[in-house]
Amino acid sequence: MTATASTWDYVHYDAAEERLRESLCTLGNGYFATRGALPECAADDVHYPGTYVAGCYNRLTSTVAGRTVENEDMVNLPNWLTLSFRAAGGDWLTPDTAPVQDHRQTVHLDSGVLERRTRFALGDGRALTVRQLRLVHMADPHLAALRTEFTVEGAGTDLDVESALDGDVTNSGVPRYRDLDGRHLTHVHTGADDGTVWLRCRTRTSDIRIGMAARTSAGAPVAPGREHLRVAQRTTLRLEPGRTATVDKIVALHTSHDPAISDPLQAAVGRVAAAPGFDELLAGHRTAWGQLWRRAQLEVPGEAGAILRLHLFHVLQTLSPHTADLDVGVPARGLHGEAYRGHVFWDELFVLPYLNLHFPEVSRALLQYRHRRLERARTAARAIGRRGALYPWQSGSDGREETQRLHLNPHSGRWLPDHSHLQHHVGSAIAYNVWQYCEASGDAEFLHTKGAETLLQIARFWADSATWDGHLGRHRIRGVVGPDEYHEAYPGAVEPGLDDNTYTNVTASWVLTRALEVVRSLPEPRRRELVERTGLDGGELEQWEDVSRTLHVPFHEGVISQFEGYGDLAELDWAGYRERYDDIRRLDRILEAEDDSVNNYRASKQADVLMLGYLFSPAELRALFDRLGYGLDDDTWRRTVDHYLARTSHGSTLSGLVHGWILARARRAGAWTFCQEALKGDVADLQGGTTGEGIHLGAMAGTLDLVQRCLTGLETRDGALWLDPVPLPELSSYGFSIRYQGHWGVRLRLEHGHLEIAVPASDRLPIDVRLPDRALQLQPGDTCRLVLPD
């Protein structure tokens, strides 16, 4: 693999690497995406040509380990990509069945095009070169196109070509899910008319109707053919040496979720009939990508810059401006595969801070996804006897809790109880994103309406979850699971849950404080409406104030404890386990396979307490602890960071990101090591095969935000842009543009101790900029260059 700022290039065919390449070569436009599988290859143990529409879910029940389980999945839709070829009368050619003399796949990041070149040996001194250009259209989100060029060497050859829409697909891209029912499509019908073939179907329980149509053109007559669950267009090309024959395939995709249509099949047939040819489609697609790149401009030199461009490419393919028109959340694994079943977790905590400063309309849409499910979250809170809103750890179509109750440990082969639904801190992540979006965008309308309603109900849940402990003289939140995820219960406990997870309690205090601030600052007519709708009264606000100042934070041995009782756990023999196992990232699975439990040890999968240093600046974190009545000096925080650094297995792609962020902000050695792990998490598949099941979108977006906010110290608060750059010797020169409170294309560049800020000309108000040693006001059209202190 070789990479530049504009291309991502794989040379030679390697079946063992194919799933990884398919994920990283996925093309999408925010509405749908298709994995980078070779069009002639069907789904098997090597290849997996999945196509996914954002928000298209279906629910099925399965019997696993003697129990009936229900799972909702993002559905693998009919395969539009299929295009097969063979020398007339021979076998269909694939890299697995025919000799491959040369093979290359290139993702062109600037234009959003996947190029493929393969040279097959045909025998008798003949060779066939296949070049393909593929796009999932960024301007028209319902279109995709595939151009295939065939060139023969040695002697003339007749070539059979078949272009198909294949409805015989299942969700089978993740081996550990294969005990679950994966056949989500039913009522598959096909047909052909006026040079177009079509396929329609629907999901089995969610009853989403899907329409797909294709138009294939070649330099020879094309004839339709129908088979079971499949429809094709076939032709035979006469290839002569030195002459290239071209086959173009244009595809349209609609579902019954789409606005402004009556029937998805009619819409797909009409759209593909009206679509221009490949060249015109490509031109429009390139223009749309050029506009995206200007809005998300990023300049970072070297290998890090190349990886960051790839990360940005995949973020934009999953969450593009088209997302602003959809009712969808942030799928943790993108639209790139079936891991986590396409569910929405807390990953938006790592994604929205980046989007807020480039595509705020997308951030708003993602927050509206949460607001639309506020009533479902209130229902979930009532079900456990609480007020307010309890958002699910895993969300899908309608906002109910989608976390599985069983999960498979591939080390032991055992199905085990899953208690991760107790990660109630997801509500704090949603509240944090509401606040950060409004601070960055200046969207007072959203803050005063949907934002205030969401914040209020999350705050109400935390206040009602807190119980008073007279012995401690503190409020406590019991029975939760923190971001670490390893620890779900106390050693030997029958019931799951932990008490006073520090991250949970501190972020709950922050939510209560922000909710109070919002309620008190609302315009009086709006505050009256909110009070009338929610029954909010002065006594409840007093309770929020009290709880926000008295939540318990445990300490042990001079450091902040992950949860109450953490200091009583045993120490793990880290050196011994690293010696016995090549990779201990999933230490929980290793210990369970040994009939032990990670609950017994001071061992974390990923940052938990340290997540506080990711969300909050040092000054803000100190203020939070002060509000709670605890001192947090630099020495205590340094000891806390060191304690957990030595006891974390980094079993998540987010772990390297958070640890790199914290060390960089503290100007400590080792920051770049963790930053590199975050950068290479997917491209090098550091989690041992998981990227082939889908990218890790939170980690990808987080690395972009590492440059945007961590290294610059950028904060948007109190109506100003705050900057406090920190030096990172390995990345001392970089630049990017942001969109801040209506200012488009505000340019920041840091280079060798100098900071340049340029504000494009407009009719907007000036921007207030705050640095540790100065404050300045920049008018539209101004550029300033500052020398930074050492």
Closest to 503 in 3D by CA, of 600, 420, 624: 624
Instruction: For the chain, list residues with pLDDT below 50.
Output: none
User: How confident is the model at residue 582, as a pLDDT?
Assistant: 83
CA 646 from chain centre, in angstroms, equals 28
Distance, CA of 790 to CA of 779 (rounded, Å): 27
- Written as six digits, the tokens of 335 are 């639209």
| C-alpha separations of 174 from 46, 338, 561, 615 in Å | 12, 6, 36, 32
Using CA atoms, how far residue 677 sits from 566, 696, 700, in Å, is 27, 13, 11
Read off φ and ψ for residue 64, nearest 5 degrees: -130, 130
Residue with tokens 């094309």: 222
Q: What share of the chain is helix, strand, coil (3-state, %, to 5)?
A: 35, 25, 40
Known active-site residue 240: no
**What are 1's strand-pairing partners?**
none
Tell me the pLDDT tens digit for each residue of 616-628: 999 999 999 999 9
Distance, in Å, from the CA atom of 30 to the CA atom of 726, rounded to the nearest integer, reads 34
List the structure tokens of 633: 């000096």
Quote the CA–CA distance of 195 and 626 in Å, as a whole number.
71
pLDDT of amino acid 66 = 82
Mode of pairing for the β-strands spanning 767-771 and 720-722: parallel
Give residue 694's pLDDT: 98
Question: In terms of Cα–Cα distance, which of 36, 735, 700 is closest to 319?
Answer: 700
Contact 728, 713 (CB under 8 A): no
Question: pLDDT (tens digit, 9 = 90+) per residue, 256-281?
Answer: 999 999 999 999 999 999 999 999 99
pLDDT of residue 408: 77
Q: What is the 3-state secondary structure (H, E, C) of 659-678?
A: HHHHHHHCCCCCHHHHHHHH
Catalytic residue among 485, 540, 677, 715: 485
| DSSP secondary structure code for residue 93 in this structure | P
| Spatial distance between the Cα atoms of 418 and 416, rounded to a whole number of angstroms | 6
Please tell me whether the overall predicted TM-score, pTM, comes out greater than 0.85 for this model: yes
